[in-house]
Structure 1
Amino acid sequence: MAITQVAVYAHLTAADIEALGRELDAMRQDILDQRGARDTTYIRRTIAFQRILDAAARLTICFGRTKASWLLGTAGLATAKSIENMELGHNVCHGQWDWMNDPEIHSSTWEWDMAGLSSQWRYAHNYRHHVFTNVLGMDEDIGFGVIRVTRDERWRPAHLLQPLQNLLLAATFEWGIAVHDLYSERDRAATPAQKSAQIRELVKKIARQAGKDYVLFPAFSGRRWRRTLAANASANIMRNLWAYLVIFCGHFPDGAEKFAPTVVEHETKPEWYLRQMLGTANFSAGPLLAFLSGNLCYQIEHHLFPDLPSNRYAEIAVRVRALCDKYDLPYTSGSLLRQYLLTLRTIHKLALPDSFLIATSDDAPETASERKFDGADASDTDRSLGRSGLRTALRRAGRGRYGRHIVDTSRVTMSRYRPIRIESADSGSRQGRRP
């Protein structure tokens, strides 16, 4: 089911992968060498814009007299919250701006405008998700523990409800992430006292967040408190829906592959790079949509270089796409609508028992492995491309060049991902690098 041999699936030799790694290392170093005033100006202007927009939206909500002013203020507040969460909070907590040595925008000090604690998120996301991207039992972001997105997870009757669970998760995304991060953090806690302390810290953060949005700002509005309360609740839901959409479109459409735990045993950095390229997906976006998504429309580039400034991802994407052409690798991308429709198809399809599904578990859009190419002649080279890699192999497979579907009844399916206990001495410092 999941990919067990990344090089075999990618149709690359060891020399190819090493060469790919060297080119990506050079690309990273180029951006590190270029960081400077342009990037500093960008992040400071972004912070200023977000805060001005937030203040203007709240004033419009509070003092506006019409329904149109309420709608405008609520939309502005939702936009400000989205920018704070994704272009600021997410990227700051990745350490993208630590090089500036500014305590205001340092990964160790930033606390974002959402229910979860940034410190707990850094371990669950920066370390568990980015280091072990899409590795079963190690990356807890595969379906976030509530959605079945791969056939490597055994079907259970409760999965029949996952279309509804998906809608609930979308509307309450910040709360789902807060609980998700807490359990990830608790998994590495050594003692019950530490686990209790983590829960208390999260409860305090939730109290502060709820108090700000649902008590403090409504109280400032006096007799119009209902108007402010409704606007704040609506803005939070809109922000949740947008964050959910961006994250799901980067991780669960067709082409975002899953991997067996064995792939990280003795994994080299070039092999880690390749896994990131195969395990993530982009969606097409212009400058405005990219900004509103925290530049996470460039999910492939973000997973390759999670601690490089997000405003650089657009230029990095041009070079990464060229590398994919050079090594005949797929560059998984599509419109936002297309990527989400593919994701929805997976969510609704995998709500059903496997016996209702048509494609095999090695050759399905949402779950594939190197077995889908069994029987193919790996030495058959596409001379027009100068290299026969995964992109050519997938094209041929789509045309039926590889013939039959493969069924291997000897596989062991995981009844439920049992997360492997992973320790990190410094969870905040792990920026998507292999340990």
Structure 2
Amino acid sequence: MTAIQKLEQNPVAHLTPEDIEAFGAEIEAIRQEVLAKRGADDAAYIRRMIAFQRWLEVGSRATLLASVFPPAFVLGTAGLTIAKILENMEIGHNVMHGQWDWMRDPKIHSTNWDWDNATPAAAWKHSHNELHHTYTNVLGKDNDLGYSIMRVDEDQRWHPFFLAQPLWNAINACIFEYGIAAYDLELGKNLRIPKEKRSEEFTKGAAATLKKIRGQMLKDYVVHPLVAAPFGALLPTLAANVIANVGRNIWSHSIIMCGHFPEGVAVFEKASIEGETKAEWYLRQGLGSANITGGKLMDIMSGNLSHQVEHHLFPDLNSNRLAEVAPKVKAVFEKYDLPYVEGSFPKQLASAWHKVFRLSLPNGWLATTTPKNAPKRMAQLYKMSTGGRKARKAIQAELDAAAA
């Protein structure tokens, strides 16, 4: 995952500045084509989706009133999990992106929408829409790369702490909504600042987030279980809400991993975006994203982030149109001989997790370890983990030589 500017085979090295501008013009033309024809059918789509999600949640919660019976528990829990995924992915994420603002419907507008999530809408829109989508995959600028807790690049100096990053990533998957809330607050950085010196912005943001979390927990873990209590279903309903929230979190985390972290997705040096043109921004968005193949069901359940390349090119384009533009975008990438990263959900997820494990280890360790030399490599890893910086540097030199 070395920054694209340092790769031996830079995938954009063959493009002239004129080529890049022509590429950008063709991508922009695709966007304008869809903007010119979106209308009543698109508006009907999102209204149907919202109505379906709400009825699914109501029906699932009603079913859970009888959750002392195993079939009702399974059916209600599955329905609630799907309802929460749809609310987060295809509805909340996309509405708060402003994808449906053109409808001028105050009930489905980015300025008014809130979602079933630990992060307040305003905080999420700032960190996601304004920061992540502006600085996609720029090292040192885009904190979505690992949410500040992982090693995501070979040029990032390895430290024994990173050995635990597969564990951190697994835990983060289960509590993903709270990980995002902490990331939006830049919690790690702000907690290191003495309380009296923390900014008013952070203090207000933390208070808003805690209020949101209390509200979410009260709804899922107090109100609904108490409503089910007279039916003898307090504990099953409580368990169903826990399962639904964890299931939603793991699914959301997996989709985000597949769209940003598989092998082949590019990252960029901070200096590379100075004076960046719109065409260069388009190029970076496309190279820094990956798609998931899988059809209509995958599209809907992923919030159409199965078309992550297209979403990053057109973040304000309503999600139901991304499948339509994907073949056109892919054709432009092929025309300019650019990588267009895509694969099935299992393939992309396995690739992303492989990278998490690979980068948790010193550079070259995994690639140069064989059954024959495994004892030696384990001894080196132990020395790198327990020794100082000098020991790590010396052994890293050995690993680099072996990898070369």
Instruction: Give the shorter-chain TM-score range.
Output: 0.7 to 0.9
The AA in structure 2 aligned to 1:243 is S
1:293 positional shift: 0.6
Alpha-carbon RMSD across the aligned residues, in angstroms, is: 2.0
The AA in structure 2 aligned to 1:234 is I
Map of 2:43 onto structure 1: 40
Runs of 5+ in structure 2 lacking a partner? 191-196, 369-399
**SS of equivalent to 2:291:** coil
1:338 positional shift: 0.4
Map of 1:289 onto structure 2: 298
- CA deviations 1:330-372 (Å, max 9, x no partner) are 210011000111111111111111251448xxxxxxxxxxxxx
- 1:373-388 correspondence to structure 2 within 5 Å: none
Map of 2:267 onto structure 1: 258
1:192 positional shift: 2.2
Map of 2:161 onto structure 1: 158
* 1:251–1:281 contact (8 Å) kept in structure 2: yes
**SS of equivalent to 2:152:** coil
Deviates more, 1:178-187 or 1:222-231: 178-187
Distance across 1 between alignment mates of 2:241 and 2:91: 20
Say whether residues 1:54 and 2:57 are aligned partners.
Answer: yes
Distance across 1 between alignment mates of 2:170 and 2:92: 24
TM-score by length of 1: 0.79
* 1:124–1:185 contact (8 Å) kept in structure 2: no
* 1:85–1:112 contact (8 Å) kept in structure 2: yes
Map of 2:311 onto structure 1: 302
- 1:93-112 correspondence to structure 2 within 5 Å: 93-112=96-115
Map of 1:205 onto structure 2: 212
Map of 1:399 onto structure 2: none
* 1:123–1:185 contact (8 Å) kept in structure 2: no
Say whether residues 1:76 and 2:83 are aligned partners.
Answer: no
Distance across 1 between alignment mates of 2:94 and 2:137: 20
Say whether residues 1:248 and 2:235 are aligned partners.
Answer: no
Map of 1:173 onto structure 2: 176
- CA deviations 1:11-64 (Å, max 9, x no partner) are 211111111111111111111111100100000000000000000111111124
1:253 positional shift: 0.2
**SS of equivalent to 2:233:** helix
- CA deviations 1:151-186 (Å, max 9, x no partner) are 132111111111111110111111101111111899
Map of 2:3 onto structure 1: 2
Deviates more, 1:90-99 or 1:59-68: 59-68
1:146 positional shift: 1.6
Say whether residues 1:114 and 2:142 are aligned partners.
Answer: no
1:149 positional shift: 2.3
Distance across 2 between alignment mates of 1:64 and 1:5: 57
1:279 positional shift: 0.6
Map of 1:87 onto structure 2: 90
Deviates more, 1:119-128 or 1:40-49: 119-128
Map of 1:26 onto structure 2: 29
Aligned pair count reads 359
TM-score by length of 2: 0.85
Distance across 2 between alignment mates of 1:206 and 1:74: 21
Higher helix share: 2
- CA deviations 1:70-114 (Å, max 9, x no partner) are 011101100000000010010011100011111111111111001
- CA deviations 1:190-226 (Å, max 9, x no partner) are 9722221111111110111110000111111124211
Say whether residues 1:128 and 2:135 are aligned partners.
Answer: no
The AA in structure 1 aligned to 2:346 is L
Deviates more, 1:304-313 or 1:119-128: 119-128
* 1:149–1:347 contact (8 Å) kept in structure 2: yes
Runs of 5+ in structure 1 lacking a partner? 360-406, 409-435
For 1:274, which of 265, 283, 292 is the aligned residue? Answer: 283
1:263 positional shift: 1.1
**SS of equivalent to 2:5:** coil
Map of 1:346 onto structure 2: 355
Say whether residues 1:228 and 2:237 are aligned partners.
Answer: yes
Map of 2:387 onto structure 1: none
The AA in structure 2 aligned to 1:216 is V
**SS of equivalent to 1:334:** strand
* 1:221–1:228 contact (8 Å) kept in structure 2: yes
